[in-house]
Structure 1
Amino acid sequence: MATLDVALFMENEVLRRGLEDMLRSSSPVGIVRNCENFAEVETCVRSADCDVLIVSGSARARVGAIAAGGERRRPKILLFVDESDVRAPEVLADLPVDGYLDQRELSAESLSETLRRITVGDIPMPVALAKSLLAHVGGQSAPASRCAVSLTSRERQTLELLAEGLSNKQIGTRLGISQHGAKRLVTSVLLKLGSPNRTAAVMTALKTGIIDFSRSG
């Protein structure tokens, strides 16, 4: 994996400083930028040097503005989530982020793996978040909408694996196909469901009753 330029945008100074130290000792990371306000984030994004922007807390309210800034190249956005997010995951569905990391699972290993996944096009999502999503929305499905979207059997399998929070590589292994083949299936599912990310895709499938997730997880 190429050396990464990573920026931090979070109001919790303890978390920010600890994460900064962890990132500086991570082999994939070359530069760590500490953004104390949104103006500094905008400067970082406009420079097109930032590869990954890590966001948490109230700073997430500005994620939409970052993603819609119109720059030719924006950083991948990694959102830190906590216990309150896992209890109410629906608020995350429409955020234009590229991955999630549960603060309770934070370690040098989990951070490095999440950065690796996000840079190869995966949208990492903690299993706890996926399961919470299933539990929260599972009873709100609408069977009458099942015919609104037509998925192939492979796409349905892929959707179930997305709900388990699996990466493209893991999906490929479970389906017996290549990682690139899995990525194509995931992209197809997101396009058919009109979803900006994996979380939104799972929510859409649950709400519309496209597929029965009762056996998942």
Structure 2
Amino acid sequence: MPPHRAALDAVATPSLNIVLSIRDDLQRYGLEGMLRSLREVADCHPFADLTSAVDAVRAPATDLLIVAPGGTDLDPDSVLHRVAAYGVRVLLLLPDLDSVDLNRVASLSGASLLCSEGLQVETLQQVLVAMGEGEVHIPAALTRALLQLAGRGLGDRQAAAPAPPRLTPREREALGHLVEGLSNKQIARRLHISEHGVKRLVASILAKLNCPNRTLATVRALREGLCAPVAAHPAGRPAQRSSPGGDVRPVPSATGQAVASSLTNGW
């Protein structure tokens, strides 16, 4: 067994109940087979149409909805947006990185992204493990493009409304950890509060920043210096996070000049 696969198998992760929505029969059968081969997956319910998949998501045991979006699936009034608004974790399966409509993908706040082109079972397993721990997966190449898109959008809004948002000290502290790339669970540990309390804080922050998701909020926080300083990492070295690809990337500080190429969160 390859060392990286053995390391993944050693991680204690919850079993996931997954609903799968893919129109293409061959792609759906292939991904279903990959999912059923993973020990992290307790059950998989495949559907050809999104409406039936969303109906199945209503079952309280569902942990994750995987969708290969097409047509009007990403429209603002689609059923996918409504189910995501209720807190269902969504993984968008994209055909390739070159054909991604960033504006439509970014509109689905909190969704993880994964490219289906050349997808390997090890990569799928890594993403599911991360999502099982409350993180959001975004490929590094798309993260850079999404941040550029976010910067352009924020620039337009800042020109129209330059007044800084009024954040409480607690919100500024939580925003600093959000900029670090921490999940809700990790922020809760740092602030010594419940994950539910962190969700309320994050919701308030996004509303005050007029940002639909954490990526946009991170960009605005770094541009405008909105978050409280984050405690230094032990030994004066910057905190680091291992990406699903295996390399280690620096986590940005509240006053940093760049955003990490892989953002995660637990929203």
Q: TM-score, normalised by structure 1?
A: 0.69
What is the CA–CA distance in structure 2 between the aligned matches of 1:213 and 1:26, rounded to whole Å? 38
Q: RMSD of the alignment, in Å?
A: 3.8
Residue 165 of structure 2 is aligned to residue 148 of structure 1: yes
Equivalent residue pairs, number: 199
What is the CA–CA distance in structure 1 between the aligned matches of 2:218 and 2:16, rounded to whole Å? 30
1:44-193 counterparts in 2 under 5 A?
44-58=56-70, 59-61=73-75, 62-67=79-84, 75-81=88-94, 82-84=96-98, 86=100, 88-104=101-117, 106-140=119-153, 141=155, 142=158, 145=162, 147-148=164-165, 150=167, 152=172, 155-156=175-176, 158-159=178-179, 161-162=180-181, 168=183, 180-181=189-190, 188=201, 191-193=204-206
Flag structure 2 segments of 5+ consecutive residues without an equivalent. 1-12, 226-254, 261-267
127-136 or 96-105, larger mean C-alpha shift: 96-105
What is the CA–CA distance in structure 1 between the aligned matches of 2:30 and 2:166, rounded to whole Å? 44
Q: CA deviation at 1:202?
A: 4.3
Question: In the superposition, relative to structure 1, how do residues 139 and 214 fare at CA in structure 2: closer, same or farther (>3 Å)?
Answer: farther
What is the CA–CA distance in structure 2 between the aligned matches of 1:158 and 1:124, rounded to whole Å? 15
What is the CA–CA distance in structure 2 between the aligned matches of 1:214 and 1:91, rounded to whole Å? 27
Question: In the superposition, relative to structure 1, how do residues 154 and 64 fare at CA in structure 2: closer, same or farther (>3 Å)?
Answer: closer
Runs of 4+ residues over 6 Å off in structure 1? 182-186
Q: CA deviation at 1:9?
A: 0.6
Work out which of the two has the higher radius of gyration on C-alpha atoms and give 1 or 2. 2
What is the CA–CA distance in structure 2 between the aligned matches of 1:22 and 1:119, rounded to whole Å? 17
Question: In the superposition, relative to structure 1, how do residues 25 and 60 fare at CA in structure 2: closer, same or farther (>3 Å)?
Answer: farther
1:19 to 20, 31, 35: 31
1:40 aligned partner: 52
What is the CA–CA distance in structure 1 between the aligned matches of 2:216 and 2:20, rounded to whole Å? 24
1:171-203: CA deviations, max 9, x gaps?
x7xxxxx88338979854553122454344346
Residue 228 of structure 2 is aligned to residue 216 of structure 1: no
Residue 217 of structure 2 is aligned to residue 201 of structure 1: yes
Flag structure 1 segments of 5+ consecutive residues without an equivalent. 173-177
90-99 or 4-13, larger mean C-alpha shift: 90-99
Matched to 1:168, the amino acid is S
Question: In the superposition, relative to structure 1, how do residues 38 and 80 fare at CA in structure 2: closer, same or farther (>3 Å)?
Answer: closer
- What secondary structure is seen at the aligned counterpart in 2 of 1:33? strand
